[in-house]
Amino acid sequence: MKQNYINGAWVDAASSSANINPSNTNDIIGHYAQADAQQTELAIAAAAAAAPGWALSNIQMRADALDKIGSEILARKEELGTLLSREEGKTRPEGIGEVARAGAIFKFFAQECLRLRGDKLPSVRPNVDVEVTREPVGVVGIIAPWNFPIAIPSWKIAPALAYGNCVLIKPAELVPASVWALTEIISRAGLPPGVFNLVMGRGSVVGQAFLHDRRVNAISFTGSAATGAKVALAAIGRMAKVQIEMGGKNPLIVLNDADLATAVNCAVQGSFFSTGQRCTASSRLIVEKGIYPAFVAAVKEKLAALTVGDALGAGIDIGPVVDQSQLDQDMAYIGIGREEGATLAFGGERIECATPGFFLRPTLFTDCSNDMRISREEIFGPVGMVIPADSYEHALALANDTEFGLASGIVTTSLKYATHFKRHAEAGMVMVNVPTAGVDYHVPFGGRKGSSYGSREQGTYAAEFFTTVKTAYCGV
Ligand SMILES: NC(=O)C1=CN([C@@H]2O[C@H](COP(=O)(O)OP(=O)(O)OC[C@H]3O[C@@H](n4cnc5c(N)ncnc54)[C@H](OP(=O)(O)O)[C@@H]3O)[C@@H](O)[C@H]2O)C=CC1
Ligand SMILES: O=C(O)CCC(=O)C(=O)O
């Protein structure tokens, strides 16, 4: 059994769960510990005990530890990327790319340790000094999803540690191996016991314990909108700091003046790569009527040339869906699209490969309307849909007509429309002539409306969540 890591020690749990390769369900990657409520309580107690000391720890020591972690991740990116692809199903190049991103994130936050800033200001009163400083929040409970098994945990863990917080992390049950491997690296970085704790187990047990224990000062969650709403309510109910990243129904507008190759590349990458299992996926392609026929024909041609198969295979463009339940959800939405009257222009069926896995042909619906369920609800699979638009103004109105607001993209050669779109797209991240998915690691990540709640993740903006502001007045 791969153990949990609590208070600086590897510990067995009462039970374990099998981690299964979605490309080949005969391949069991390993058995991973499942903490119960009692073990989770021990982890919370360890983190709470370590917090006061870690909050005052030397910033050079924190920077060195994070830098060491980042270096080892980068040095082992091929091995760790292979493991990631084996457990999650994105292709090996995508897995290696994600691991490299995780390494870069640790190195970025290693430097951020050294850049903690404050303000010293004159007071409006005579003979008084005012100082504004940032302090750690304390213990941070991290609840992670399955679709980015190492990048999302890293962009929560690295800033938490950099700003002097203790960490409790619960990876998604479907993908414990990447965070376990990351923990093994962190365990050798010289952090005091209790500063970093891995608590693998069920959301309903471990996640719930984080949410309801007052010693956990902040909760950083990424996952579905349904779970996110429950997490937010529980955290706010006891006044814990909370940051929630959820889904999207991200539009990509293609205008008549777009470069066709750029439009097709953005659409195919954004909608179908990583098996469409990205919250930033382009799940609504809103296409102006003048370019619509050429665009649909070119996307279909590109989809026909893609190879679906074992995530670890050479030359594979699209790996499997993550598990049976996600595959069932994708197939159910394909059925819904047909019933709603959308045209099934490509795919729509499972694929048999050499190994038993959850393979689905990339699927394209055309002639969709924005009020169909497939245009409003997040599918989270390799299913794209094309919605015709009469004009730029019509396309923008359709793009903004959604419950979500994570990413929003446009493909155009017009500076006027690009500039207008950047200003008027109701989303946290706006993309012009680049795919909606695939973001930088050093700038803020997050959305609006039903996609996100709380302050932004990543880049220097992460300090907002992982620190708390103190204003000190001093009579002189
Ligand atoms: N905006 C963003 O940044 C991102 C959003 N997502 C969204 O995440 C979803 C896919 O991820 P998925 O893992 O299925 O999402 P879930 O919401 O099902 O799970 C996310 C995490 O929450 C845990 N959890 C489940 N129930 C509870 C609970 N009652 N209390 C506390 N924790 C709980 C899960 O644990 P368990 O291990 O038991 O499943 C998992 O670790 C998609 O909808 C996608 O859009 C994904 C990535 C990024
Ligand atoms: O698009 C990206 O690079 C990151 C997206 C992400 O975090 C997600 O889809 O869960």
Q: Return the ligand 1 atom nearest residue 226 CA.
A: 17
Tell me the CA–centroid distance for residue 280 and ligand 2, in Å.
5
Q: Which of 34, 146, 198, 243 is the best mutation target for the ligand 1 pocket, counting ligand atoms within 8 Å of the beta carbon and taking the most? A: 146
* Predicted local confidence at residue 166, as pLDDT: 99
* Closest Cα to atom 2 of ligand 2: 438
Q: Which of 88, 178, 224 is the best mutation target for the ligand 1 pocket, counting ligand atoms within 8 Å of the beta carbon and taking the most? A: 224
State if residue 437 touches ligand 2 by the CB under 6 angstroms criterion: yes
* Closest Cα to atom 24 of ligand 1: 203
**Would you say 56 and 136 are in contact if contact means Cβ atoms under 8 Å apart?**
no
Enter the tokens of residue 366: 């055309």
* Predicted local confidence at residue 361, as pLDDT: 98
Per-residue pLDDT of the chain (476 residues; tens, 9 = 90+): 999 999 999 999 999 999 999 999 999 999 999 999 999 999 999 999 999 999 999 999 999 999 999 999 999 999 999 999 999 999 999 999 999 999 999 999 999 999 999 999 999 999 999 999 999 999 999 999 999 999 999 999 999 999 999 999 999 999 999 999 999 999 999 999 999 999 999 999 999 999 999 999 999 999 999 999 999 999 999 999 999 999 999 999 999 999 999 999 999 999 999 999 999 999 999 999 999 999 999 999 999 999 999 999 999 999 999 999 999 999 999 999 999 999 999 999 999 999 999 999 999 999 999 999 999 999 999 999 999 999 999 999 999 999 999 999 999 999 999 999 999 999 999 999 999 999 999 999 999 999 999 999 999 999 999 999 999 999 98
* Predicted local confidence at residue 240, as pLDDT: 98
Which residues, 6+ apart, have CB-to-CB distance to 371 below 8 Å?
Answer: none
* Predicted local confidence at residue 457, as pLDDT: 98
User: Which residues are the active-site residues?
Assistant: 245
State if residue 147 touches ligand 2 by the CB under 6 angstroms criterion: yes
Distance CA 356, CA 336 (A): 26
**444 burial via Cβ count (<10 Å: 0-12, 13-18, 19+):** middle
> What is the predicted ipTM?
0.93
**260 burial via Cβ count (<10 Å: 0-12, 13-18, 19+):** middle
Enter the tokens of residue 218: 């902040």
Task: Please give all residues whose beta carbon lies within 6 A of any atom in ligand 1, as ranges.
Answer: 143-147, 170, 172-173, 202-204, 207-208, 211, 222-224, 227, 230-231, 245-247, 279, 378, 380, 406, 451
Tell me the CA–centroid distance for residue 227 and ligand 2, in Å.
18
State if residue 279 touches ligand 2 by the CB under 6 angstroms criterion: yes
Query: 132: which strand partners?
Result: 119, 471
Q: Which ligand is nearest to the CA of 202?
A: 1
Distance CA 465, CA 205 (A): 25
* Predicted local confidence at residue 293, as pLDDT: 98
| DSSP string of 297-318, one letter each residue | HHHHHHHHT--B--TTSTT-SB
Residue type at 298?
A
